[in-house]
A and B are shown apart, each in its own frame.
Chain A
């Protein structure tokens, strides 16, 4: 079974631009979660989508948004990029999602975003 894939793997943007990242979950998984990872901060939860609905959201500004399609693929969008948005963005998929707490999440390799 193919793992979680993320595209692109690397991205360079300039301040003020917007960016869209894509995540394809493991086949059959209905939940996709997004995380931001920066040095010294660990992974910060952005949001979770389950069956095309946002089920939970972390403490990030409205510039960060996402969506999920009927095939469970998910996209994350960041508008008006700032230097501080430079990070590794990881997505994870699971069968039932984070609500129950017990589902194992499977992570993709991440997209490295650099904002100049």
Chain B
């Protein structure tokens, strides 16, 4: 069965530092992969998605993610984190239904 694992429950980074959030998936075929962000009191907003083609995808707010089939990973990155990036980030796999990882809470230190 398809599944998504986000190994890091909570990550703290300093403002201006780079960020990488890990996401590993288990799925037989080429997966459809998503990263969503959830800010306090708000619903989920799509950051970016990967279906096929170029394995490096660009999203909103300066985020990017790289699909690595050999590692079954779809890690989210940002070169310079802003205080407004503090939120819960969720990785997901879709096919028929949608499976989410447990989420990674991002804290940004001033």
Q: How far is the CA of A50 from the CA of B110 in the complex (A)?
A: 45
Of B36, B92, B96, the contact of A99 (CB 8 Å cutoff): B96
Tally B residues with Cβ within 8 Å of A.
24
Q: Which A residues lie within 8 Å of B13 (CB)?
A: none
Closest chain A residue, CB of each to CB of B43: A107
B100 neighbours in A (Cβ, 8 Å)? 35, 42-45
Chain A residues within an 8 Å CB radius of B49: 102, 104
Question: 16 extra interchain contacts, Cβ-Cβ under 8 A, other than A43-B100, A101-B51, A106-B46?
Answer: A35-B100, A42-B101, A43-B44, A44-B100, A45-B98, A48-B97, A90-B44, A98-B94, A98-B98, A99-B96, A101-B94, A102-B49, A104-B46, A108-B43, A109-B42, A110-B43
Write 10 A-B pairs (CB below 8 A) sorted by A numbering: A43-B90, A43-B92, A43-B98, A45-B99, A56-B96, A90-B43, A98-B97, A102-B94, A107-B36, A108-B43
Question: Which B residues lie at the A interface, using CB under 8 A?
Answer: 6, 9, 32, 36, 41-46, 49, 51, 90, 92, 94-103
